[in-house]
């Protein structure tokens, strides 16, 4: 089930009605748990078993961590959680990737190896809920948090449908305490939650799907050689598409949770107005970057063991972060480029720490950041390195004799929409959506809300899945 479908509209309306009936809080939580399983089962019912396995293993692992009296027993319980979660992730998400690379290695060594067909379906959202459940046992192991008081609250934390398949990646300390006391949205929360859902679906259905996706596909999914204009237009269109798609999902998820009375953290803070790459990762997919920082970068040493160790930890974190996004070496290259950017930035800050750019230089550094981020999007979007080099070659003027691929309308649409997105990010750079809404006249807010809802209806989306479902 996807947010951008009529099925979800009916489903969510039923959930809202049940949640606002005069029932006990335990009954309401059971209703939310059952609804979340239905939401997930709409894709492939057997994969509910994976959710159960992850939930049960981590519940008992956390209980074992608390009761263990010897350090060896604590290590064993933690190892059980890590092996169970990463084992499922490796089998379903990286099995084909590892098999293909092993076959290529055997071929390179002159050995003919023909493995059986690895026909495994990737469970939707497995990367997100395994990270969420692992954070639970890791926090208990590191004594950062106590385990949940009952299995119902923990199971609901794992499966709560707004964040289940594409985040935000929730920490147990953020959501489990909210399940302990009855929660119901106020009138203001319900209105703002529905407005957030409308904004998120507008980003997804109207901007990402109706305008930008086709522009990117006609260059990245075609066999034609792109010229400079086509390569840049398609890459910029993809930068807008992936933001509108993923931020659209997160915004819709946060709005859906708020309609039920629950708060979830921001996952995007206008990242295309970032100045520098550490600033970019404080604004893009915030819950993932904080997860990687707390559970990977810092355990690898962080910045506590000298300069060389810091750079190694930084690169390993971003390389693994790239691999988390997809079982393909192009994603590793994407992560590696971001790791390189962060390392260079860290070096320059160490050399020129006292430099304070003026307003014009500040904006120029922001635009440079955005353009370099777009170079990384080439590897994220291209399915092969060959295609990535072809697009990069076009962007840097190596295909001067290439024939046009995109129409003038597509070029203008890409420039206008992406320009509007980047301009909006710069306007909102130091602001929050809540503060802007509070200062805007209600009539203007209602008009904007109605226009977005109307655009969603006339776009007549086919309920296409969000990009991050495949991760």
State the pLDDT at residue 376.
Answer: 98
How far apart, in whole angstroms, are the C-alpha atoms of residue 293 and residue 435? 29
88 touches 130 (CB < 8 A): yes
DSSP code for 150: S
268 touches 284 (CB < 8 A): yes
- pTM reported for the whole predicted model: 0.93
Longest dimension (CA), the chain: 72
Gyration radius (Cα) of the chain, Å: 23
61 touches 81 (CB < 8 A): yes
Which amino acids are annotated catalytic?
325
Residue whose tokens read 């629950």: 262
State the pLDDT at residue 117.
Answer: 73
Per-residue pLDDT of the chain in tens (471 residues, 90 and over written 9)? 888 888 999 999 999 999 999 999 999 999 999 999 999 999 888 889 999 999 999 999 999 999 998 999 999 999 999 999 999 999 888 888 888 888 888 888 888 777 777 777 778 888 899 999 999 999 999 998 889 989 999 999 999 999 998 889 999 999 999 999 999 999 999 999 999 999 999 999 999 999 999 999 999 999 999 999 999 999 999 999 999 999 999 999 999 999 999 999 999 999 999 999 999 999 999 999 999 999 999 999 888 888 899 999 999 999 999 999 988 999 999 999 999 999 999 999 888 877 888 999 999 999 999 999 999 999 999 999 999 999 999 999 999 889 999 999 999 999 999 999 999 999 999 999 999 999 999 999 999 999 999 999 988 655 566 776 666
State the pLDDT at residue 468.
Answer: 67
State the pLDDT at residue 375.
Answer: 98
Q: Give the number of other CB atoms < 10 A from CB of residue 102.
A: 12
């Amino acid at each position: 089930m996807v947010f951008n479908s009529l099925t979800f509209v009916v489903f969510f309306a039923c959930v809202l009605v049940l949640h606002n009936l005069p029932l006990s809080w335990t009954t309401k939580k059971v209703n939310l748990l059952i609804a979340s399983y239905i939401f997930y089962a709409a894709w492939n019912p057997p994969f509910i078993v994976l959710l159960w396995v992850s939930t049960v293993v981590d519940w008992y692992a956390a209980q074992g961590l608390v009761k263990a009296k010897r350090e060896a027993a604590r290590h064993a319980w933690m190892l059980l959680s890590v092996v169970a979660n990463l084992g499922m992730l490796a089998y379903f998400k990286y099995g084909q990737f590892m098999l293909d690379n092993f076959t290529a290695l055997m071929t390179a060594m002159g050995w003919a190896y023909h493995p059986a067909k690895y026909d495994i379906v990737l469970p939707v959202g497995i990367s997100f809920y395994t990270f969420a459940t692992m954070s639970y046992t890791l926090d208990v192991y590191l004594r950062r948090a106590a385990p949940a008081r009952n299995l119902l609250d923990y199971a609901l934390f794992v499966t709560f449908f707004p964040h289940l398949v594409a985040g935000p990646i929730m920490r147990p300390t953020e959501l489990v305490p909210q399940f302990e006391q009855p929660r119901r949205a106020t009138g203001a929360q319900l209105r703002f939650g529905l407005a957030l859902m409308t904004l998120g679906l507008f980003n997804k259905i109207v901007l990402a799907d109706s305008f930008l996706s086709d522009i990117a596909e006609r260059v990245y999914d075609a066999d034609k050689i792109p010229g400079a204009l086509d390569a840049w237009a398609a890459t910029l269109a993809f930068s807008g598409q992936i933001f509108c798609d993923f931020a659209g999902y997160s915004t819709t998820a946060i709005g859906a949770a708020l309609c039920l009375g629950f708060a979830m953290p921001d996952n995007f803070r206008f990242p295309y107005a970032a100045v520098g790459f550490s600033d970019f990762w404080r604004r893009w997919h915030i819950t993932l970057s904080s997860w990687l920082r707390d559970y990977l970068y810092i355990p690898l040493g962080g910045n506590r063991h000298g300069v060389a160790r810091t750079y190694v930890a930084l690169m390993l974190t971003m390389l693994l972060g790239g691999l988390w996004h997809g079982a393909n070496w192009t994603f590793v290259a994407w992560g590696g480029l971001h790791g390189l950017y962060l390392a260079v930035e860290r070096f320059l800050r160490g050399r020129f720490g006292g430099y304070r750019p003026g307003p014009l230089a500040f904006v120029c550094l922001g635009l440079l950041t955005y353009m370099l981020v777009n170079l990384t999007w080439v590897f994220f979007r291209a399915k092969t390195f060959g295609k990535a080099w072809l697009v990069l070659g076009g962007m840097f003027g190596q295909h001067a004799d290439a024939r046009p691929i995109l129409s003038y309308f597509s070029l203008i649409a890409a420039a206008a929409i992406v320009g509007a997105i980047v301009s909006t990010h710069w306007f909102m750079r130091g602001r929050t959506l809540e503060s802007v809404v509070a200062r805007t006249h209600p009539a203007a807010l209602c008009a904007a809300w109605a226009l977005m809802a109307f655009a969603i209806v006339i776009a007549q989306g086919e309920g296409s899945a969000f990009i991050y479902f495949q991760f």
